[in-house]
């Protein structure tokens, strides 16, 4: 385990696998107007762009809920169709012990 | 008065929200605070240092019971190149109980217990879905399918104020006004080990702020704080500047831990947490409306964070704004305050903490546009000191020559002087 996985492994999460609080449209991401800045600007590296498959994947589990993707992605920022950014519900998501 | 209607509903149990709730509850008001984290503090992340004047204003002498980490007595400003550093160290033992390193989660957990003891009702693990707005007036919140009503909603939801943005009550968060921060916490076996690493007397705190090559020319900096038995290390990067750089933020965050001038503070520690949070840095001219009909906004949600390069303040302003919000309602007396009464909150801020923001107008623009701060100047400082300390087989270089060579590295000395003068004026 290395890189981001090792970092997120020490941070506590109340994981809700089934209800992503951030939603993107992987197909629409192919025509990204924001230089796919989510990939480089997410401190938890939750966005991965597969150049060969022309496919964006996003994993909400491990999201630190900072909100930087909402700012760097025009579609998340404006709430374009297929894109939304919310806080997790029912105490799910990151659960800092140090903060 | 309707029994089901709270005097105030506070959204968010961070420094601003808990301060407002504590103050209102102490004055006998009915307060419901709703926090989306499993506990108050579970979603909060700080660099972490708090200036104690705000805690004193909220809690009186009891602030001394707050679980802060170490009292800062040693301040270090570091200019960094890829491998080297020049640091300016200030040992300020005359500062008495002025600031403390902190970890946000335990401190907020304690503050939540204080607010509850004062009579505030706190509900955790509950995310507010939306505000109830009737005829342009905010009347309460919707959460978990329930509608909860209050005379006033105090929005303390943090730097991403989704509720207010969605209702169009405040401007959308401007990416140009925001930086992104990432932080590691390393735990050590004992507090003595942390004393030794930072070269401080037992229990004394230290704060390191650095700028230079680590942010690769982008407006930002690094921080490192000595906690009781742990060390916080992190960096803050201008969101828009970093996006434009196209570099992965994580690589830079990882490189931070390898920098010789910073690694010395965390080597041997056990990584116990990695987190990220946005920092508002827009300054006075970018601040939103502070109130409207039925609502007030405090803390990060109101943009009340100030970065001057050598100090970064947010938590103390969050506490003070929470106090100001509560005092506005207490002074207004019972019942539904008018929008005009609530505007008194902005006036309170104006007479109080906003003076700091007015005095530093333009600081953010100056720092974000003066890229030499993060490239040329640190390099110059390091090269000059390296040349002064260098001894080799060749004849020595006179000090005057070394300084002259350094000065010539500044491509446009007059413009540099003018830029620096502007910086002094804005900071």
| CATH number of the CATH domain containing A62 | 3.30.70.20
Q: What is the DSSP string of B279-334?
A: EE---GGG----EETTEEE-GGGGT--EE-SS-EE-HHHHHHHHHHHHHHHHHH-S
Q: Cβ contacts (< 8 Å) between B172 and chain A: which residues?
A: 77
Measure the CA–CA gap between B273 and A10, rounded to whole angstroms.
5
B303: left (phi over 0), alpha (psi -120 to 50) or beta: left
Torsion of CA A26, A88, B13, B4, to 10 degrees: 130
Q: Tell me if chain A has a CB within 8 Å of the CB of B277.
A: yes
Output the CA angle A82-B35-B227, nearest 5 degrees: 105
Measure the CA–CA gap between B48 and B344, rounded to whole angstroms.
31
Is the ipTM beyond the 0.90 threshold?
yes
Interface of A to B at Cβ within 8 Å reads 3-4, 6-8, 10-12, 14, 34-35, 37, 39-45, 64-68, 70-72, 77, 85-91, 93-99
DSSP-derived 3-state class of residue B267: coil
- Contacts with A, B 333-372, CB within 8 Å: none
* Residue A90 to residue B105, Cβ atoms within 8 A: no
Of B44, B124, B182, the CB nearest to A99: B44
Q: Which domain holds residue A51?
A: 3-95
DSSP code for B30: -
Measure the CA–CA gap between B78 and B262, rounded to whole angstroms.
10
Provide the number of structural domains found in chain A: 1
Q: What is the pTM of this model?
A: 0.95
Q: Tell me if chain A has a CB within 8 Å of the CB of B419.
A: no
* Residue A98 to residue B230, Cβ atoms within 8 A: yes
Phi and psi at residue B201, to the nearest 5°: -70, 160
Question: Residues, chain A, total?
Answer: 99
Find the residue in A nearest to B105 (Cα): A99
Measure the CA–CA gap between B197 and B179, rounded to whole angstroms.
29
Q: Cβ contacts (< 8 Å) between B301 and chain A: which residues?
A: none
Q: Tell me if chain A has a CB within 8 Å of the CB of B243.
A: yes
Encode chain B (427 residues) as per-residue pLDDT tens digits. 456 899 999 999 999 999 999 999 999 999 999 999 999 999 999 999 999 999 999 999 999 999 999 999 999 999 999 999 999 999 988 888 999 999 999 999 999 999 999 999 999 999 999 999 999 999 999 999 999 999 999 999 999 999 999 999 999 999 999 999 999 999 999 999 999 999 999 999 999 999 998 888 889 999 999 999 999 999 999 999 999 999 999 999 999 999 999 999 999 999 999 999 999 999 999 999 999 999 999 999 999 999 988 889 999 999 999 999 999 999 999 999 999 999 999 999 999 999 999 999 988 888 888 888 888 889 999 999 999 999 999 999 998 898 888 888 776 777 787 888 888 787 7
- Going from N- to C-terminal start, the domains of chain B cover 5-48+103-174+286-352, 177-280, 364-426
**What's the CATH class of domain B5-48+103-174+286-352?**
alpha beta
Q: Tell me if chain A has a CB within 8 Å of the CB of B175.
A: yes
Fold that domain B177-280 belongs to in CATH: D-Amino Acid Oxidase; Chain A, domain 2 (3.30.9)
CA distance B420 to chain A (A): 30
Q: Cβ contacts (< 8 Å) between B277 and chain A: which residues?
A: 64, 66
């Amino acid at each position: 385990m290395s890189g981001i996985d090792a970092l997120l492994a020490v941070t506590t999460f109340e994981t809700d696998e089934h209800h992503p609080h951030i939603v993107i449209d992987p197909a629409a991401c192919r025509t990204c107007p924001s230089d796919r800045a989510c990939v480089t600007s997410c401190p938890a590296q939750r966005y991965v762009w597969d150049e060969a498959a022309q496919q964006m994947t996003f994993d909400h589990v491990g999201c630190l809920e900072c909100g930087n993707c909402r700012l760097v992605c025009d579609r998340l920022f404006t709430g374009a169709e297929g894109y939304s950014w919310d806080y997790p519900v029912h105490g799910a998501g990151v659960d800092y012990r140090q903060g | 008065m309707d029994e089901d209607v709270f005097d105030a509903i506070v959204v968010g149990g961070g420094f601003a929200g808990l301060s407002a709730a504590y103050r209102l509850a102490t004055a006998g008001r009915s307060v419901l605070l709703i926090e989306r984290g499993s506990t108050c503090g579970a979603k909060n992340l700080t660099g972490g240092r708090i200036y104690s004047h705000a805690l004193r204003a909220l809690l009186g002498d009891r602030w001394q019971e707050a679980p802060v980490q170490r009292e800062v007595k040693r301040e270090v400003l570091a200019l960094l190149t890829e491998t080297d550093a020049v640091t300016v160290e200030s040992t300020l033992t005359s500062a008495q109980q002025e600031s403390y390193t902190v970890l946000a989660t335990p401190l907020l957990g304690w503050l939540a217990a204080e607010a509850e003891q004062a009579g505030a009702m706190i509900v955790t693990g509950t995310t507010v879905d939306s505000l109830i707005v009737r005829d342009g007036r905010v009347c309460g919140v919707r959460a978990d399918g329930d509608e909860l009503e209050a005379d006033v909603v105090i929005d303390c939801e943090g730097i991403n104020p989704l509720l207010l943005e969605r209702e169009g009550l405040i401007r959308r968060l401007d990416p140009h006004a925001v930086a992104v921060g990432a932080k590691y916490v390393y735990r050590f076996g004992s507090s003595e080990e942390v004393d030794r690493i930072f070269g401080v007397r037992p229990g004394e705190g230290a704060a390191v702020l650095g700028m230079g090559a680590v942010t690769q020319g982008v407006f930002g900096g690094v921080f490192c704080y000595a906690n009781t038995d742990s060390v916080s290390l992190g960096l803050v990067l201008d969101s828009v500047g970093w996006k434009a750089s196209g570099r992965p933020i994580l690589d830079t965050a990882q490189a931070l831990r390898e920098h010789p001038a910073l690694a010395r503070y965390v080597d041997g520690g056990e990584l116990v947490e990695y987190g990220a949070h946005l920092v508002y840095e827009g300054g006075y001219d970018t601040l939103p409306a502070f109130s409207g009909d039925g609502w007030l906004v405090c803390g990060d949600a109101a943009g009340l964070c100030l970065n001057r390069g050598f100090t970064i303040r947010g938590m103390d302003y969050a506490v003070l704004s929470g106090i100001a919000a509560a005092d506005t309602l207490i002074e207004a007396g019972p019942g539904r305050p008018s929008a005009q009464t609530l505007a008194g909150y902005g006036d309170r801020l104006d007479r109080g903490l906003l003076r700091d923001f007015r005095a530093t107008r333009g600081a953010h623009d100056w720092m974000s546009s003066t890229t030499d701060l993060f490239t040329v100047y640190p390099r110059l400082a390091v090269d000059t000191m390296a040349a002064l300390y260098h001894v080799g087989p060749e004849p020595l270089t006179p000090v005057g020559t070394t300084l002259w060579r350094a000065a010539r590295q500044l491509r446009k000395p007059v413009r540099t002087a003018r830029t620096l003068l502007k910086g002094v004026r804005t900071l």
